[in-house]
Amino acid sequence: MRSSPTPTGDAFGLWYELGRLYATAGEDARRAGTEGFIITLVTAAQVLLSAPLFGTSWAGPFAALIPVAAGLFFGGLSFWRRRARFFKRREALHRALATEGEDAERPAAAGLDAYYDAQLILLRSEYEFLRSQGTKRALLSARLFEASFGFTPEDGFECGPLNVAPDTLKMRDLRGRWDARLASSRALGKAPPPLGIREDAHYRVFPREMTVPAELATRSAYLAISCRLLRERYGKRPGATASEEIQRRSERDLGEYAAITGRRAR
């Protein structure tokens, strides 16, 4: 159990490279859309500038559609070129992970060693938030977290406010519980569900290497969830209805969120 994973062989490095690949792929649609929009603007400007020289008869009734069509074409082409590179690199990483005895679609199948504490806290906070929503879709997603990471409602983790922080004995104990539940599932022959680009785009489920910017972004994300749940449960002023322990943890979460992001939690 590690708060800061130490790679064994090449497996951890491969997991982190796969995580970076999924993170980049999650931006493909936005980047392609931006490029398509720029092409639309440039093409529209060219159509307008051509009018004094050539008139508009060359474009006929389709003059207004030409910029849109150009943007869609080049934006779509950019997106699928990025996707082709993504699929090629993903397959290469899947093969490399397989040679290390890892299942590339089940990052926690052999345990949680590749995950840093901060990411596990974020994942468990996401699970807590999904359960709090109570909708059928949210509860289905919560079950995905249970099967993939060993989370349970009774595991002792609390969010809104948080009762755990990275690199603490409490976090080590939670890791042990989650790993034990995953090991129990393996012993029963139960494999976690496969995860891919869709799940990672929603919940960042693949291991991430915790550089300083990545850790700050991860901490701000789980603190934002905790502050939101805190407000839903206790209102804007927890002191009115909460115990001293809840008040202390609430002040810690709110203060840490403000220190990291430079703004107050909404």
Write the pLDDT tens digit of every residue in 187-227: 999 989 999 999 999 999 999 999 999 999 999 999 999 99
d(CA 266, CA 227): 8
Same-domain status, 42 and 154: no
Cβ atoms of 77 and 103 closer than 8 Å:
no
The count of domains in the chain is: 2
Q: What is the pLDDT of residue 179?
A: 96
Cβ atoms of 230 and 161 closer than 8 Å:
yes
Q: Confirm whether 44 is domain-assigned.
A: yes
Q: Confirm whether 164 is domain-assigned.
A: yes
Q: What is the pLDDT of residue 42?
A: 81
d(CA 149, CA 107): 9
128, 155, 251, 255 from 123: Cα distances, Å: 9, 14, 22, 21
Same-domain status, 209 and 137: yes
Same-domain status, 122 and 235: yes
Q: Which regions in the chain score pLDDT beneath 70? A: 1-9, 47-64, 237-241, 266
Q: What is the DSSP string of the chain?
A: --SS----TTHHHHHHHHHHHHHHHTTHHHHHHHHHHHHHHHHHHHHHHHHHHH-STTTGGGTTHHHHHHHHHHHHHHHHHHHHHHHHHHHHHHHHHHHTT--TT-TTTT-STTS-HHHHHHHHHHHHHHHHH--HHHHHHHHHHHHHH---TTSS--TTTT---TTSHHHHHHHHHHHHHHHHHHHTTPPPPP--HHHHHHH--S-----HHHHHHHHHHHHHHHHHHHHHHH-S-GGGTS-HHHHHHHHHHHHHHHHHHSS---
Q: What is the pLDDT of residue 7?
A: 45
Same-domain status, 30 and 84: yes
Q: Confirm whether 2 is domain-assigned.
A: no
Q: Confirm whether 266 is domain-assigned.
A: no
Phi, psi of 160 (to 5 degrees): 90, 55
Same-domain status, 176 and 227: yes
Same-domain status, 139 and 228: yes
Token pair 């060359």: residue? 58
d(CA 171, CA 1): 10
Same-domain status, 252 and 150: yes
Q: What is the pLDDT of residue 1?
A: 40
Same-domain status, 61 and 153: no
Q: Is the peptide bond before 161 cis (omega within 30 degrees of 0)?
A: yes
Chosen domain end from 81, 99, 117: 99
Residue 135, token pair as written in the block: 């909708």
Q: What is the pLDDT of residue 134?
A: 84
Range of the domain at 138: 107-261
Same-domain status, 95 and 113: no
d(CA 125, CA 131): 10
Chosen domain end from 68, 99, 130: 99
Chosen domain end from 99, 123, 145: 99
Cβ atoms of 127 and 142 closer than 8 Å:
yes
Which residue, among 204, 12, 194, has the nearest Cα to 93 in the 3D structure?
A: 12
d(CA 82, CA 84): 5
Same-domain status, 141 and 239: yes
